[in-house]
A and B are shown apart, each in its own frame.
Chain A
Amino acid sequence: MKKVPNRNQFSKILGLSLIAILFSASPLIAQDAAADATAVEAAAGGGDAKKGKALFNQNCAACHALNRKMTGPALENVESRLSEDEGLDREWLYAWIKNSPAVIKSGDAYANKLYAEYNQAAMTAFPTLSNTDIDDILAYTAAAPAAAPATAAGDVQSAAGGSGSSSGVSNEIILGALVLVFGLLVVMLLLVNKTLQRIAQANGIAIEKEGAAKRTPIWKAFAQNQFLVIVTAILLLLGSAYFAYGWMMQVGVDQGYAPIQPIHYSHKIHAGDNKIECKYCHSSARVSKTSGIPSLNVCMNCHKSIYEYTGNPEGPSQEDLENGYTNEFYTGEIKKLYKAVGWDEENQKYTGESQPVEWIRVHNLPDFAYFNHSQHVSVAGVDCQTCHGPVEEMEIMYQYSPLTMGWCIDCHRETNVKVEGNEYYEKIHAELSKKYGVDNLTAAQLGGLECGKCHY
C-alpha cells in the first residue's frame, strides 16, 4: 500500500504563508537565563552557598526542600530556626547530620520529637560530610534564592517583546508598499486603456472584435473532437480515482493523532530535557507485548521529591509561553498527579483515595493485529524512536508512524535480523542464509511476512 502524502499541501502552504505574513508582527521573545546569578553569599557562619547548593542537591534534595515539608522538614534558614526555637547550635546539627540515629538514641528531646513527627523514619547518616561541607550546605539554606528567578524572567520578557516587534514592522511596511505599488500599476493600466479607447472612438476608428463570428467557440470545438473528450474523461477518471484511493487509504490511519490528555505529560521534559530512558517508565516493553502506560507509582518514584517545575535553565521559550506552558502550569499538572495517586503533600503521606488516570490511547492497533514490543525492543534491539519518532521532542505525544500493514512490512523487508550473540538464531540463520545466499537475513526472509505471525 502506498501512502499519498500531503495531498493538500500546496493549498495549505499557500494559506499558511499568507497568514504567517500577515501576523508575523507578533513579538518574538529571546530568553535569557538569570536564575543562577542571584546566588547570594550567606553572611552568617561563613561557608560557600554555591558549593552548598551542589552538595544539597546531591545529598539532601531527595528528602528535603528549602521551603516545604517533604520526607523531612523544610530546611530554609534551618540553623537560625533551630537556634531561635530550640536553642540548638551548629554542633548539634553536625552531630545530627553525621549520625542522626545516634542522636535519637542518646535521648535528645528535639531529635526524638522529630523522629516521632516523621513516621519514625530516621534520617540517613552522612558520616562522609565534613564540617565544612555542612557549613556550605547551611550557608545555602540560609541564602534563600527561591523567589528571584520569576521576576527576572518577567523583566526579560517585557524587554524582549519590544525588540521583537521592530523587525516585524519592517516586513509589514515592505509588503504594504509592494501591494500599493501593484495596485497603482493596475489602476494605471486600466486608466491608460480607457483613455486609448476614448481617443480611438473620438477618431472614429471602430475596434473590431477579430473573427468573433467566424470562429467556432473553443468549447464547441472541444466537444466535437471525440478523441479529446475521451482522453480528458479518462484523465479525469484516473485523477479522481487517484485522489479517491488516496483518501480512502488514510481512513483509519491516525498518523499525527495527538489527543489532549487528562494530565499534560511532556515527553520533551522527561525524555528530552531530563534524558530519562524510555524503558525506565515503559518497563514492560522489555518483556511484554505491551509497552505499558506506567502506573502512577512509577511517577511517584521521582515526583515524591519533584513537586514543582522550575523550568529549563534558559526559562520557558517563546513557543512554550504562547501555549501557556509556564512553570506554574507544569506544577499544576504535577498536582493533578498527586490528586490521582492520592498523595497528601502536606503530610507526605498517601491518603489511599486514588483516582486512576484515564489516558487517551494514542497508538491504537486493531484487535486483529498482534504486536509484541519485547520482540522488537529486547530481541531486535530496535530504538523506540524508530516507530514512535522523536518522542524526546514531543511536548504532546502524537502518533508518528502510520501504523499500517504496509509500513510494518516495509520495515520487515529491509531490516536485518539481529542475530549476534543470540543462540536461538544460530542454526536457523546459518542454514537459511546459505539457502538464500545472503550474509544477513531480513525479518521477511525469516518468515516475518507470514500472515499468521501477526494475525491470529
Chain B
Amino acid sequence: MASNKKYWKNEAELNPNDSIVEALKQNEFVEQIPVDDFLGDKETLSSTNTNRRDFLKYVGFSTAAASLAACEGPVVKSIPYVVLPENIVPGVANYYATTVANGFDFASILIKTREGRPIKVENNTLAKIGGSANARIQGSVLSLYDSTRLQGPMANGEPVEWDVLKATVKAKMGGLKGSAKKIAILTQTYASPSTDRLMADLVAANENVVHVTYDAISEDAALNAFENKYGERALADYDFEKADLIVSFGADFIADWQGGGYDAGYSRGRVPKNGKMSRHVQLEANMSLTGANADKRVAMKPSAQKVVLAKLYGKLNGTSVGGNTSEYDVLVDSIAAEIKKAGSNAVVVTGLDDVNAQAVVLAINEMLSSKAFDTAAPKYIRKGSVKAVNALIADMKAGRVGALLMDGVNPVYSLPNAADFKEGLAKVDLTVAFSTNWNETTEAVQYVGATNHYLESWGDVQIKKGHYSLMQPTIKELFDTKQFQTVVLELLGSEQSYYDYIKDTWSSSVLNGANWNQALQDGVFSADTMVVNEEGAAQNVVASETPTEVVANTSMASAIRSLANTTSEGMELTLYSKVGMGDGQQASNPWLQEFPDPITRVSWDNYVTISKADAVELGVENVNVANGGMDGNYVKLTVNGVSLEKVPVVVQPGQAKGTVGLSFGYGKKVGLKEDMQTGVNAFALYDGFNANQSVSVEKVAGNHEFACIQLHKTLMGRGDIIKETTLEIFNTKNHSEWNEVPMVSLDHQEVPATSVDLWDSFDRTIGHHFNMSIDLNACTGCGSCVIACHAENNVPVVGKAEVRKSRDMHWLRIDRYYSSEETFEGDNQKKDGFDGLSGDNGSLGGFGELEDPSANPQVAFQPVMCQHCNHAPCETVCPVAATSHGRQGQNQMAYNRCVGTRYCANNCPYKVRRFNWFLYNNNDEFDFHMNNDLGKMVLNPDVNVRSRGVIEKCSMCIQKTQKTILDAKRDGRVIEDGEFQTACSSACSNGAIVFGDVNDEKSKVAELKASDRMYHLLEHVGTQPNVFYHVKVRNTNEA
C-alpha cells in the first residue's frame, strides 16, 4: 500500500507559502548566479586569481579528463521493423513519382525516399510537359519536416479534435442550406480534375456554395485576355525551343512568369547547333533572370514597354499607331524587322499585368502563326480571378457570407486589401482555414484545419490540356493532419477516400482505358488521342470564329489605343517573385531563405532594386564594409497612399532609370522562427493585383545590413574566367581566336599553358574518369542545382549573420558577373588598349570605368563547385593528407582526418572550400533544421554530417558515383552513359550541367570535352580541373 507520509528536508518546506521553497522547486538557486556581473566587470576579472595560463591549464586538464572518461563507447540501439513493409529494404532508396501543385509551383517530380522518409526531389524524366523541379520545389522536401508546421486542428487558437471541427462545419453548412447567405470556398489554383469535380459535387449538394480561386500572385490579365479570345480560362503555352527569335516585354519566363517551367525549352534553343541558336530580346524594368540571359536587353519602364508593344503591333500589322512619342521608333523598327525576318519562328511574350498588352501579344503570335505558341492545349496552372475575389470580399463585408473555408491560401498576408478581408472575416459566422503552417490567416479565423504537405497527399493535376500528373503520398501523415479534399468528402457524407475518388475520376474521364497503376507509377499520363481530337476541334472553333474577327479587330484597336497612350509619372514599381521565395509559401524553409538571389546575390532578404542614376538622385547607396558585408540605406515606398517604411535598397546595375523593383514572398511574421522573419511584405503594394505600380520613393534614416555573397562589381575584362563571344565570330572564326588557350613563358618562349606541367601526370585512361561539363549558354542561373546540392550533401544552413561574414556553406555557387560594355569583348579590347597609367587611355581611370557596372551591363552566370583538379593545389598543402586524389578524378576529402588548418582553402584558386566555423547540427544557436529531430529527417544517410573545425566541399557526389558503380558490379554489367549523375547534373533540366565518364568515348561528356567551346577555369594556373566550361555565345546578330 502506498504511504501518505510526507518527507521534508527543511522546516521551511512545511510552510506552503514560502517563496524560497517555491523558487527552489523550479530552479537550482533562489537567485540567478551573477555571472554577467563578474564577467562584465573588467577590474574584477583582472584581479582574479585565475589568470589566463591557469585557465588554459584547467581547460586542458578537464578536456583530457573528459576525453579519457569518454573512452567507453556508448550503447547504440538498433530497432528493426516489427513487420517490414514489402517494398522497403533498409539502406536502399525507393523512388516515387508524384506532383507538386501548391498553387504556385506545378511540376511532376520523383521523390527519393529512404526507409520511408522522403529526402530528395528529382526530376521526372517521363514528364515532357510543365516545369521541372526548380529551386523551391527542390527545397520543398524540407518544408515537410518543418518543426513549425501545424500538428493538428485548432479552434480559436486551442487544439481541437477533427470530429469537433467537422461536426461544427457540417452543422453550419447544413444550417445555411436554403438561406440567402453564401458558403464560400476560397482556394488556390488546383488544376485538378478531381478537385474540380469535388467542388462541383459540393455546389450540387448545397447550392449556396461558391468556389473562388485565388492566386496570391495573379495572372488575371493574361487569363482574361486568353478567355476573351479563346473562351477558356487558361494560359497559352509556349515552347521556346522552337523559337528562333524571342521578344519579351517584361516577361520573366525563365523564372515564374505564368507559372514558369519554360527554362528547359529555352535553354535547348540557346545552345549553338550547326551555327544556329535562338535570339532573345528583352525589354524590361527590373534586371530579371530572363533579362540577364538575353542577347539584347533594353531597360525601360513598364509604361514605355506598353507603348513599344502597341507600336510593334502596328508595325507588324501595317497600321499606324499614334501615341505621344516617337522616342522608341528606332527600337520598334529594329524589333519589327527581326520579327518579320523570323516569321513564324518568332514569338512575343509579355509579363505586363495589363489585359490589353496580353491581348496584343496573343494577337501578334496568332498573326505570326508562331510555332512556339500553343493555344489548342493551354495550361491550367493559374485560374485565380481578381473579380471573384473582390466580389467575395465585398460579400463578406456586407455580411452575405455565412461560412468561409480556405485552403492553400493566406489572404490576410497576401491580399493587397488584407484589411478589407479581415474586416469581412469578422462578419462571417464560420471561418475555417486549412493550412500546413500557422500564419496570418489561421490567426484570424475561428477554426484551423491542419493540412497535409503535398508529400503526404493524394491528388491529380492537369498542367496542360490532355497532360495529367498524379500526386501520391510518399510518407504517412507526420501529424494529425487531413488534406482539404478528404475533409470535403467527409462533409459531403461520402464514405469514399480521396484516393478512390481520384481513381473514379480518372477511370471515367481521364484514362480512357489505360492502366491506372501504370499512370501512378509514371506519375504522368498524356491522353494523346484526346489531344489530337481536341486540337482538331479547336481549329474548327477558330475557323468558325472568322466572322467575329471584325469585333475582335475593333476591340484590338481600342486595346492598341489605350496601350499607345500609356503615360507615366514619376517612379514605376515592378513587383516580382524571387527564384528562392516565390509567393512566400515556404518562408519557413531555411534552404530557400539562404539561397542567394541569382542576380543580386543577396540572401535572407528582399529589398528595393534601384538604378544607379536614381540612387544618386535620392542619395542612397550601397557600401561594402570592412568585413566584406554589404550595407544599404532605407527608403520609404508609397503606392496609392499605402506605404512600406524602411525598405532596404540594393543599387541594381541594369535597372531601368525611373523604376524600382521589389519582390513578393517576404515580410511574413506570424508562425515563423525569428530568423525566418525577413524582409518586407510587398503584397501591401500590390494594388489591384497589378505588379506595375506608380510609386513614390523617399530616403529614410537607417542602415541595413545585407547578407550578400558577391559584390556588385564587374569582371573588369578578366575573360579567362568567363569566356564569351558572339555567334558571328563563333561561326566564322577559328576557335583559337575566341577560345584562346592562355600562354605562359617557358624558357623564355611563349607556350600554351596546357603544355606546361609542374608535376608528373598520372595515367588516367584506365577505369572511370569523371568530368563535368557546364555550358554557360544553357545555364540560366536558376539555382535548382544549388538546393539539390544542399539536399543531397547535408550542407548546413548558417544564417544571415554568418553569410554576411562570408561563411556561407554552399558547395555549389552560381557566380554572376557583370560586364560594363555591351559585350565582354568590348571590355577585353578596352583593357588591352590601356596605355600608361593616366591619360585618356590610362589604366588608372580605365579600370575605374570598368569597375562601374554601367546602366545596362551584360550578365553571365557561372556555376562553380570544386573543380576536382588533377593537379590540385589544395592537396599539396594539407599537412595531414586529409584531401587526396582518387583514380576516378575526384578530389577527396576525409573529414575525420582534417584538423582545420584551412591551408587548402587558402591555396584553392577557385575558392570552393568551405570551413565549418561552428557545429551547425544539434546547435540551438543555429535554429534551422539540423537542431531538431524533425528537420534531421531530411538528411541523406549516405553522406556524413560534418562537424566543427573541418573543411568541406563538393565531392562530385562520390556517394552517387559509387552507388552507380556498385549497382553495375552487382548486376555484372557495363555502365551505360547517363547513369553517372551528380545532384546538380540531375537537377539541371536545362542541360547545362552534364556529368559522366570521359574514358567512355561514346559518352556525352567526352563529346562535350572535345568541343571547340570547351575551356577550363583559370587554365593558366595549370591545375587541370575535371570540371570544364563552354564558352558563352551571344547571338548579337541584329536582323
Contacts and interface: CB of A to CB of B under 8 A. Distances in A.
A294 B892 CA distance: 34
A360 interface: yes
Contact of A452 (B78, B90, B890, B969): B890
A252 B73 CA distance: 6
A428 B84 CA distance: 39
Given A284-B89, A293-B78, A372 B884 contact: no
B896 A366 contact: yes
Contacts of A294: 80
B975 interface: yes
B893 A452 contact: yes
A447 B887 contact: yes
Interface in A338-366: 340-342, 354-361, 364, 366
A356 B91 contact: no
Contacts of A197: none
A431 B763 CA distance: 12
Contacts of B767: 428, 431-432, 447
Interface stretch (A49-57, A215-223, A234-242, A416-424): A416-424
Nearest to A364: B76
A422 B766 contact: no
B1010 to A, nearest CB: 21
Leading 6 A-B pairs by shortest Cβ distance: A452-B892, A288-B91, A295-B84, A295-B81, A361-B76, A290-B91
Contacts of A280: none
B39 interface: no
Interface in B856-897: 882, 884, 886-888, 890, 892-897
Interface in B408-467: none
A446 to B, nearest CB: 8
A450 B965 CA distance: 15
A368 B959 contact: no
Interface string B92-106: 100000000000000
B90 A368 contact: no
Interface in B63-111: 71, 73, 75-84, 89-92
Contacts of A374: 966, 970
A378 B970 contact: yes
A357 B79 contact: yes
Contact of A287 (B81, B89, B765, B886): B89
Interface of B: 71, 73, 75-84, 89-92, 763, 765-767, 882, 884, 886-888, 890, 892-897, 942-945, 955, 958-959, 962, 965-966, 968-975
Output the residue of B84, B91, B893 with the most chain A CB within 10 A.
B91
A256 interface: no
A319 interface: no
Contacts of B895: 368, 455
A342 to B, nearest CB: 8
Contact of B892 (A283, A293, A431, A456): A456
Contacts of B90: 284, 288, 290, 292
Contact of B897 (A254, A367, A451): A451
A289 interface: yes
Contacts, number: 157
Nearest to A369: B896
A357 B972 CA distance: 37
23 contacts: A252-B71, A283-B89, A284-B92, A287-B92, A289-B91, A292-B80, A296-B80, A297-B84, A357-B79, A359-B78, A368-B894, A368-B944, A370-B959, A374-B966, A422-B969, A424-B972, A431-B767, A435-B763, A450-B884, A452-B894, A456-B943, A456-B958, A456-B959
A169 to B, nearest CB: 43
Interface residues of A, number: 58
Given A297-B82, A368-B896, A424 B76 contact: no
A453 interface: yes
Contact of A360 (B76, B886, B893): B76
Interface string A382-409: 0000000000000000000000000000
A259 interface: yes
A359 B968 CA distance: 33
Contacts of A426: 974
A284 B91 contact: yes
B965 to A, nearest CB: 8
A298 interface: yes
A356 B80 contact: yes
Contacts of A259: 75
B77 A421 contact: no
Given A288-B91, A360-B77, A450-B892, A296 B83 contact: yes
A283 B89 CA distance: 9
Contacts of A182: none
Given A369-B896, A455-B892, 14 more contacts: A251-B71, A284-B89, A292-B89, A297-B82, A297-B84, A356-B79, A368-B894, A374-B966, A428-B767, A435-B766, A451-B882, A452-B892, A453-B886, A455-B894
Contacts of B83: 295-297, 341, 354
Contact of B89 (A288, A358, A425, A432): A288
B80 A453 contact: no
Given A359-B80, A450-B892, A367 B944 contact: yes
A251 B73 CA distance: 9
Nearest to A446: B767
A423 B892 contact: no
The residue in B958, B965, B969 that gathers the most chain A C-beta atoms within 10 A of its C-beta is: B969
* Chain B contact residues: helix, strand, loop or mixed: loop
Nearest to A248: B71
B760 to A, nearest CB: 16
B969 A356 contact: no
A252 B90 CA distance: 26
A423 B973 contact: yes
Nearest to B74: A364
A375 interface: yes
Contacts of A366: 896
Contact of B766 (A254, A340, A425, A432): A432
B82 A452 contact: no
A452 B957 CA distance: 11
A283 B894 CA distance: 31
A379 interface: yes
B843 to A, nearest CB: 45
B884 A451 contact: yes
Contacts of A296: 80-83
Contacts of A435: 763, 766
Contacts of A289: 91, 942
B78 A341 contact: no
A375 B966 contact: yes
Given A288-B91, A364-B76, A423 B972 contact: yes
A417 B844 CA distance: 64
A290 B114 CA distance: 13
A294 B966 CA distance: 23
B868 to A, nearest CB: 11
Nearest to B793: A456
A428 B763 CA distance: 13
A447 B890 CA distance: 12
A89 B165 CA distance: 64
A450 B895 CA distance: 14
Contacts of A297: 81-84
Tell me which of B81, B943, B945 has the highest count of chain A C-beta atoms within 10 A of its own C-beta: B81
Contacts of B886: 447, 450-453
Given A452-B890, A455-B894, A298 B84 contact: yes
Contacts of B973: 423-424
B82 A292 contact: no
A357 B892 contact: no
Contacts of A427: 974
B628 to A, nearest CB: 30
Interface string A123-166: 00000000000000000000000000000000000000000000
B766 A428 contact: yes
Most buried by B among A290, A356, A425, A456: A456
B196 to A, nearest CB: 39
